[in-house]
Structure 1
Amino acid sequence: MRGRTRGMRMGQYGPAVRVMVLFTVLLGIAYPLAITGVGQVAFHDRANGSRVEKSGTVVGSSLIGQSFAGSKRYFWGRPSAGGYDPLATGASNLALDSSGLRKQVAQRRAQAAKADGVAPSRVAADALYASGSGVDPQISPAYAEQQVRRVAAARGLSAATVRRLVAEHTQGRELGFLGEPRVNVLALNLALDASH
């Protein structure tokens, strides 16, 4: 009886191994290749990182924010808890009542108010708080408007010209009702470079 049970178990290994090999080929090789192929054909730009080029050189991604802070000639993006490193994305995980977060917000508020020439109470929220990913490429139209005078003065442009560029680069809500209007900072800064 014991030998027969062992023989039955050994007979089950063959089909189990064949099923494992079949699913490894299907799900480990064929499926990833098919999805990659569809992505390359139907969504080529997105599948390759939504790279943004200037004069044939990749200068960033339309999906990943980068730091322009410190330069008066450019619009600044949201603060980043991960230092704008796409490999270290994430929020700071500081609670709203954290003294560390309050200190960061106070410093950011003072920096933005001074740079943009606005009252500290008028600084846009996305100038103060990092996003959940830490690399959001967009800012709110309110934060863009806050920066218009600084950028216009640094570039020797009229505020109306800079506002027109902001308006041209403001994206509305997805499907007309999802999310909030937003401005892609890299695209706007590249448009500024191209215009002046």
Structure 2
Amino acid sequence: MRLPAWLAQHLAALRAVAVFTIVLGLAYPLFMVAVAQIPGLSGNADGSLVSKDGKTVGSSIIGQSFTDADGNPLKQYFQSRPSAAGDGYDPTATSASNLGPESVVDTLPDPSVQDDEGKQSLLTQVCQRSKAIGELEGVDGSRPYCTAGGVGAVLAVFHQNGSTGPVTRAVSLNEACPATPFIQSYQGVTVECAKPGEDYAMGVVTPIRGTAPDKPAIPADAVTASGSGLDPHISVAYARLQVNRVAGARNMSAADVQKLVDEHTTGRALGFMGEPAVNVLELNLALDRAA
């Protein structure tokens, strides 16, 4: 008995769905799981977990924080770079901040709105982190276009003819009143603090470089998050910056700590891609073993 054409087509489609479900939905995934368990591959496939005294303490391919319950850096450990993944280093929320070089103006908190914390620009985040790291490491944390207070040094400059002509008004956009602006005057006009909720859109956004050195003491990776937010590595420069602080906290010599840094420094990928880097978790575990 010949089946109707429409029924034959539906049965053929069902058979195709069944075959592809078995091949691509079951056989292929199970085959890849089996391949991943081959010696030499199983560690990465299982998450590159790192154990200490029989307890899993992290992953060598996912960064993590080394802070106390209040979020303060533990001085005896090397610190990781910032993370924008979830609440920090969350592999289920891997992401970047999506803030670019033009993110220089903060959204100031509105005091009339309860629990309004505003929103920091990328510039202010970088300035704040650099200031905090400078204080932690005992070095100059200043950066170009940052105020001494750790926010972006940005003015809204109002001109007589819109965007041209003499300056008639200048407002420090990232310093909310009653703060004292980071500079007293700009082109002969007294600089004002910013009033939350006031519209300064007619002003020309003008970053002020300041007197910070061209090459800051704090490396760039110390104040910016990676694209994934999960980077377990820091630059060699950032690791070296932390050597004296870690050595002092552990009563070790700086030379011994630096030796461990050198031992846990990896070269460029394939010999030419990227820069040498230091795996923070593995270095901190080595410090614990040395102690």
Give the TM-score range, shorter chain. Answer: over 0.9
In the TM superposition, 1:103-118 aligns within 5 A as: 103-118=124-139
Confirm or deny that 1:175 pairs with 2:270.
Answer: yes
Confirm or deny that 1:76 pairs with 2:79.
Answer: yes
Confirm or deny that 1:19 pairs with 2:114.
Answer: no
Read off the aligned partner of 1:95 and give its amino acid letter: G
SS in 1 for 2:4: helix
Q: More helix per residue: 1 or 2? A: 1
Confirm or deny that 1:185 pairs with 2:280.
Answer: yes
Report the counterpart of residue 49 of structure 2 in structure 1.
51
SS in 1 for 2:101: coil
Q: CA deviation at 1:26?
A: 0.4
Q: CA deviation at 1:8?
A: 1.7
Structure 1 residues 3-41: Cα deviation after superposition (integer angstroms, max 9, x where no partner): x9x922222222222121111100010000000110012
Report the counterpart of residue 146 of structure 1 in structure 2.
241
Read off the aligned partner of 2:56 and give its amino acid letter: V
Task: From the CA coordinates, give the structure whose radius of gyration is larger.
Answer: 2
Distance 1:23 1:73 in 2: 55
Report the counterpart of residue 94 of structure 1 in structure 2.
99
Read off the aligned partner of 1:7 and give its amino acid letter: P
Structure 1 unmatched ranges of 5 or more: none
Distance 2:126 2:10 in 1: 62
Moved over 6 A (4+): none
Structure 1 residues 147-187: Cα deviation after superposition (integer angstroms, max 9, x where no partner): 00110111111110000000000000112112211000000
Distance 1:17 1:138 in 2: 49
**What is the TM-score normalised by the length of structure 1?**
0.94
**What is the TM-score normalised by the length of structure 2?**
0.64
Structure 2 unmatched ranges of 5 or more: 68-72, 106-120, 142-215
Structure 1 residues 56-110: Cα deviation after superposition (integer angstroms, max 9, x where no partner): 0000000110011411100001001122222222111112221311111111001
Read off the aligned partner of 1:90 and give its amino acid letter: S
Distance 1:87 1:31 in 2: 24
